[in-house]
Amino acid sequence: NRISLHPKYKWATAHIGNINMSFSPYTLNGHQFTGGGVDLAPPGSFKISAMSGRLLKAINDNEDPRTIPSYTRMGYGLKTGIEKDKFKIGVIGFYARDDQNSIDSIPEVKGVLPQENLVISLIGEAKLGKKFTLQAEYASTAITRDTRAEEIENPGTSPLGLFYNNRASTEYYSAIKTRLGYAAGRVAVGLGYERIDPGYETLGAYFFNNDFENITLDASNTFFGDKL
């Protein structure tokens, strides 16, 4: 049984129980957790969202091949931003870690290892003149495939390594997405670019595609008195 509460008062909304929140596709994106979160949008330009809770509960291996064991995984996230008439800018941080002592040993054949993940993302949007809009997001992730691996020196391949516990199983990846839009009356045209490194992963999403590059062109218009 699952229950969630979403009390709201003026510009503050709380989320309590079994809930999910989304910050961006590259950080926290719809993963259910048991805990709490908050969305704050006070008068003015500053906005903030935060969450904390258990992403996965501990499941011991019972020798049934259908059982997928897991460690207790806790997650914490914060999204802050400033929204003005001509621009928006924000920073997202997400961190998750498995408790390697939360269950008994897992058979090697199951391939389940205790992991740790830190993702930082920068997002922005700006109006260029009266008809152009530029949107962009850059995300960097540091993921440790096995937290039992020995600690090693930071390889210096990512700025995340400056404040992340680097281990022999730690890997660093990045993702970027941009779109330039043009709008004139009812006509809208956009040119987009997205690239995600091979191996990019966030523990804040159930499924994640990586190792691809997209270039997109989109257009829209309305006809017959906005009926089509």
Containing 31, the helix (H) or strand (E) segment is: strand 29-40
Position with higher pLDDT, 29 vs 153: 29
78 burial via Cβ count (<10 Å: 0-12, 13-18, 19+): middle
Contact predicate 145/169, CB 8 Å: yes
What confidence score (pLDDT) does residue 63 get?
77
Q: What percent of the chain has pLDDT over 70?
A: 100
What confidence score (pLDDT) does residue 186 get?
87
Convert the pLDDT of each residue in 168-195 to its tens digit: 999 999 999 999 999 988 899 999 999 9
Q: Is the dihedral of CA 148, 153, 159, 165 positive or negative?
A: positive
Convert the pLDDT of each residue in 44-97 to its tens digit: 999 999 999 999 999 988 878 788 889 999 999 999 999 999 999 999 999 999
Which residues 6+ apart lie within 8 Å of 169 measured at CB? 144, 145, 146, 147, 149
CA atoms within 13 A of residue 192's CA, in its CB half-sphere: 16
Q: Does this model's pTM top 0.85?
A: yes
pLDDT over 80 at 106, yes or no = no
Q: Which tokens belong to 160?
A: 């995340």
pLDDT over 90 at 160, yes or no = no
What confidence score (pLDDT) does residue 91 get?
98
How confident is the model over 130-146, as a mean pLDDT?
95
**At residue 166, what are phi and psi to the nearest 5 degrees?**
-75, 135
What confidence score (pLDDT) does residue 192 get?
97
pLDDT over 80 at 105, yes or no = no
Distance CA 23, CA 93 (A): 9
Instruction: Count CB-CB contacts under 10 A for residue 90.
Output: 20
Q: Which tokens belong to 8?
A: 């709201």
At residue 166 the predicted structure's pLDDT band, cuts being 50, 70 and 90, is very high
Distance CA 56, CA 115 (A): 12
At residue 102 the predicted structure's pLDDT band, cuts being 50, 70 and 90, is very high
pLDDT over 80 at 116, yes or no = yes
pLDDT over 90 at 23, yes or no = yes
Which residues 6+ apart lie within 8 Å of 208 measured at CB? 200, 201, 202
